[in-house]
Amino acid sequence: NNEGVVAKADNGDTFTVDTGKFTGRSPKDKFVVKNAGSESEANIDWNDVNQPTTPQVFKDLYEKAVAHFNTRETAYIFDGYAGANPASRKKVRFVHEMAWQQHFVSNMFIRPESPEELDGFEPDFTIINCCSQVEEEWERHGLNSDTAVVFNIEEKKAVIFGTWYGGENKKGVFSLMNYWLPMSDPPQFPMHCSANVGKEGDVALFFGLSGTGKTTLSADPHRALIGDDEHGWDEDGVYNFEGGCYAKTINLQESTEPDIYHAIKTDALLENVKIQDDATPDFFDVSKTENGRVSYPIFHIPNYHEKQMAGHPENIIFLSCDAFGVLPPVAKLSSGQAMYHFLSGYTAKVAGTERGITEPVATFSTCFGAAFMTLHPTRYADLLQHKLDKYGSHAYLVNSGWSGGPYGEGDRMSIKTTRSCIDAILNGSIQEAEFQKDPIFGFDVPVALDGVDPAVLDIRGTWADGAKYDAQAKKLADMYVDNFQQYEGKGSIDYTQFGPTI
């Protein structure tokens, strides 16, 4: 169809596409129909993420989508599943005009194991993707642009106009899972995390925003990967929502991300990656975008967990990259503290100025995925609290950021330090450690861990000036408290009490 070109990747020919002006999701163009008196109207957290629109707007767009496909000689239909556990999965149907988008969803969702599974297939939700068409009447419809991604939960349908970006398909279904699962009976917990499982069946979850090491740290040669991004936690345990991975390719090289690098071969799909004159991909050329991506079926990862589901997690790890130099490399959290840090979803990014002076910028993304949370965040926190109490999972904060001072003054913690902290959690040795309580944040910090310099565990002691550390710690604690005001008095428990003491 002349939709892209074939790249000569080191591990095999790989189809590659350019998604045009949209190289990422378009969150300001995502809407949910507010059906008066419906279950979704009563439960959705209506805000800038979940923007309301009317049933009439959806009706107009849906009719336009159907009319467009009626003019085409070819359409691509994918029927599959979101969720590896047959007891909890949802049936999804995609209707595409582009073959490469069919390829994308075939990689990212769970495919039926046999043609017989499709006999009488009745989808729980259908997404019609009219990426080549735009919404000319967006102003009359009260939308934000001629791009529209609109979900109607009661109608069990969605339409996409004006964006070719593959991730709209993936994250659209994730947002739906974040609605459906907590509403099920019994309620289930949807999670924006990676997960792996040890040889003894022990499951670990890794929550973290971009740049915290979620993908890297969950890829462990001694453990099998359940999934790298989206999971559910039901009465049977943890299961992957997806059948594939959607990894960033910026600066990708074999030495640093061998699993992803080797997954780029036939059946993978590259998006917005520079292709050189000799047809090889250049992952260091980000002139198009820094959000170049590759989607591939999870079986391209050699150490993947074939069942894509396992038991209840023994360990839950919240990853942060603290550029303020305040948080210790690892801390043990009580269940209440785990809820506080889950709702906070903290990391820090480094921002530059024209003078070349750099300072950390705090980022809080609730539930480590604010853009995809359909219900109020405390609904998810209450679910996590229930799971921790019921199954006795341990929760930890792991920081791969700076010690000895903030970014620009201190040093980045080594990957060896971070790996050693993760290893101590997964092998259980951290539970035998002696701990000291942090006077501001209240969590317990180990005094010594195998493979970790004890001096780094005493994060205040890494600073040359303890008073400067204290001022910086108060500054970060203030940011936590200010951010958390939005959750005061909400949820089954007021989790404010588990935050820092200023």
- Among all residues, which ones are annotated catalytic? 25, 171, 192, 210, 214-215, 229, 293
Question: Residues 267, 295: contact at Cβ < 8 Å?
Answer: no
What is the rounded CA–CA span in Å between residue 17 and residue 293? Answer: 10
Residue at 278: amino acid letter: D
What is the rounded CA–CA span in Å between residue 327 and residue 58? Answer: 47
Segments in 91-151 forming alpha helices (H): 99-108
What is the rounded CA–CA span in Å between residue 428 and residue 450? Answer: 12
Residue at 440: amino acid letter: I
- Mind spelling out the 3-state secondary structure of 422-491? HHHHHCCHHHHCCEEECCCCCCEEECCECCECHHHHCHHHHCCCHHHHHHHHHHHHHHHHHHHHHHCCCC
Residue at 195: amino acid letter: A
* Structure token pair of residue 424: 């101590």
CB neighbours (10 Å) of residue 382? 20
Beta pairing partners, 196: 204, 225
157 contacts: CB under 8 Å, gap ≥ 6: 58, 62, 125, 126, 127, 128, 151
Beta pairing partners, 208: 319
CB neighbours (10 Å) of residue 122? 8
Helix (H, G, I), strand (E, B) or coil at 46: coil
What is the radius of gyration, based on Cα positions, of the chain? 23
